[in-house]
A and B are shown apart, each in its own frame.
Chain A
Amino acid sequence: DIQMTQSPSSLSASVGDRITITCRASQSISFYLNWYQQKPGRAPKVLIYAASSLQSGVPSRFSGSGSGTDYTLTISGLQPEDFATYYCQQSYSLPWTFGQGTKVEVK
Chain B
Amino acid sequence: QVQLQQSGPGLVKPSQTLSLTCAISGDSVSSNIAAWNWIRQSPSRGLEWLGRTYYRSKWYNDYAGSVKSRITINPDTSKNQFSLQLNSVTPEDTAVYFCARDLAIAASGTRLGFDPWGQGTQVTVSS
Residues of chain A having any CB pair with chain B under 8 Å: 1, 32, 34, 36, 42-46, 48-50, 53, 55, 87, 89, 91, 94-98, 100-101
Contact = CB atoms under 8 A, between A and B. Distances in A.
Interface residues of B, number: 22
B119 interface: yes
Interface of B: 37, 46-49, 62, 64-65, 98, 100, 102, 110-120
B113 A97 contact: no
B119 A91 contact: no
B119 A32 contact: no
A36 B65 contact: no
Contact of B114 (A44, A48, A53): A44
A94 B37 CA distance: 12
A75 B46 CA distance: 23
Nearest to B62: A94
Contact of A98 (B49, B65, B115): B49
Given A43-B98, A43-B118, A43-B120, A49 B111 contact: yes
B102 A91 contact: yes
B113 A55 contact: yes
Contacts of A34: 111, 113-114
